[in-house]
């Protein structure tokens, strides 16, 4: 049962434009959400997170938006850079459960 879903396996964006990566979840108990970035042959690295008490969190070029009623979150990257090309994983947790659930990932390619 895939509780966190990323329905777009890949996304291509021109350098300088906005990248929008989407994520949906089914478990209403999730109260903390994270995005990880993964380069080939490396482990995922933490990028940005958001608590369910917020609807937006911003860190430099990266902004995560949370829509709890729709059980949907998105990661915006503005402006996109070639170094942002990687696989992005959305993850969610019910903090009382100690179990982090990952989506299947979206491969972002930023074209110079």
| Interface positions with another protein (CB under 8 A) | 4, 32, 34, 41-46, 49, 89, 91, 93, 95, 98-105
Q: How far is the CB of 109 from another protein (least distance, A)?
A: 17
Q: Between 100 and 111, whose beta carbon lies closer to another protein?
A: 100
Handedness of CA 83, 84, 89, 91 (dihedral sign): positive
Copy the structure tokens of residue 35: 């995005």
Residue 43 vs 112, nearer CB to another protein: 43
* Residue 43 or 83 having the CB closest to another protein: 43
Partners of 65 in beta bridges: 56, 74
SS3 call for 41: coil
Q: Give the separation between CA 102 and CA 27, rounded to whole angstroms.
A: 12
Q: Min. distance of Cβ 34 from another protein in angstroms?
A: 6
Measured from the CB of residue 105, what is the shortest distance to another protein in angstroms?
6
Euclidean distance between CA atoms 87 and 37, whole angstroms: 6
């Amino acid at each position: 049962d895939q509780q966190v879903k990323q329905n777009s396996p890949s996304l291509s964006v021109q350098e300088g434009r906005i990248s929008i990566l989407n994520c949906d979840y089914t478990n209403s108990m999730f109260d903390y959400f994270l995005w990880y970035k993964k380069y080939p042959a490396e482990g995922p690295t933490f990028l940005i997170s958001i608590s369910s008490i917020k609807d937006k969190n911003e860190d430099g070029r990266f902004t995560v938006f949370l829509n709890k009623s729709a059980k949907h979150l998105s990661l915006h990257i503005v402006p996109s850079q070639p170094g942002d090309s990687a696989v992005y994983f959305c993850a969610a947790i019910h903090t009382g459960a100690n179990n982090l659930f990952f989506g299947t990932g979206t491969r972002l390619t930023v074209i110079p």
